[in-house]
Amino acid sequence: MLDTYERNINYLRISVTDRCNFRCVYCMPPQGKRWLDHDDILTYEELLRLIEVFNREGVTKIRLTGGEPLVRKGIVEFIAAVTALGRIKDISLTTNGSLLPPLAKDLKAAGLSRVNISLDTVNPASFARLTTCGRLEDTMKGIESAMEAGLAPVKLNVVLTEALTEKDLAYFVELVYRHPIAVRFIEYMPIGGRGFGGGPDIATVKKMLNEAGRALLKPTGTVRGNGPAKYYQFPRAQGAFGFITPISEHFCSACNRLRLTADGKLRPCLLSNDEIDVKTPLRNGASDRELAELFHAAVAAKPQGHSLCRSSGFPDFERTMSQIGG
């Protein structure tokens, strides 16, 4: 479905829970957040119905997020049910990776195509500070299990914070030479967390990668997923580096997504507080056509772009990143 600015909206990011086993500093405040009550979260049956309805309006790709989606019981069976619909061409998932090892093969068998795993540093102490309660070794095992299960391409999401060092970049350079993995550097977006501050900018990261790789990164084709990252590759490397710049270089003109929060709100734009309630009509007996009209309303409300930039500051967001689904 085309929006007001001729963008084809065919991608839905679905938050299946606001809960997470980490407390990443840029994702939620230090005191944490009050979790949604069980009854406030859309059931898997409700999500399946919305996926069917929205698919008829053009959605062919979904990504499951949280919180941490793997903390929700029944996630493997839910993915199998989405696959069984036979209508969604691409199912992916964003995770911190810590819970992946016992689930990776089952997720792949259920129909999950690939995963994005958050890994902002490979320094155990810095990782523990960033995540508050996470262990680096758990996430590293999750990455290994994803590659072994064939959830390809595995993508690593690296938020640019002061935790990122030359040693991290040297590790990532070695990684992409050895494995067909995509390491994506993401500008920090201040949505409800307490930040970590002081991270390098994209230009600096590229320069440091070139020095660590002793070669020049060259632009390469889009890595599977068709997201906002611009990809570069070293000669003879199996993997690639991606750069995602929501603040310094907006990619709104190519944005093809809506977001559905765990409590049933459609968000036309991540960087806006605007939401459309679909849970209440859904639970009050709305027809498929009425639910489709809410999807149309969200598409129509999608702005041409956001106006965030570091020089003008950032607005107050009513929800943290963990509550939105990223």
The reply to whether 189 sits in an annotated binding site is: yes
The reply to whether 139 sits in an annotated binding site is: no
Cα–Cα dist 205/214, whole Å: 14
The reply to whether 72 sits in an annotated binding site is: no
The reply to whether 24 sits in an annotated binding site is: yes
Nearest CA to 99 among 21, 197, 15, 190? Answer: 21
| Sheet architecture: strand order including 276-277 | 218-219, 230-233, 240-244, 182-186, 155-159, 114-118, 90-95, 61-65, 11-15, 257-260, 265-267, 276-277
The reply to whether 118 sits in an annotated binding site is: yes
The reply to whether 133 sits in an annotated binding site is: no
Cα–Cα dist 115/121, whole Å: 18
The reply to whether 224 sits in an annotated binding site is: no
The reply to whether 309 sits in an annotated binding site is: no
The reply to whether 171 sits in an annotated binding site is: no
- In 130-175, which ranges are E strands? 155-159
Cα–Cα dist 200/208, whole Å: 10
Adjacent-strand bridge partners of 14: 64, 260
Cα–Cα dist 150/180, whole Å: 11
The reply to whether 13 sits in an annotated binding site is: yes
The reply to whether 213 sits in an annotated binding site is: no
Q: Would you call 52 helix, strand, or coil by DSSP?
A: helix
The reply to whether 242 sits in an annotated binding site is: no
The reply to whether 94 sits in an annotated binding site is: yes
Q: Which residues are documented as binding site for GTP?
A: 13, 63, 94, 155, 257-259
Which residues define the annotated binding site for [4Fe-4S] cluster? 20, 24, 27, 252, 255, 269
Binding site feature residues for S-adenosyl-L-methionine: 26, 67, 118, 189
Extract the annotated binding site: 13, 20, 24, 26-27, 63, 67, 94, 118, 155, 189, 252, 255, 257-259, 269
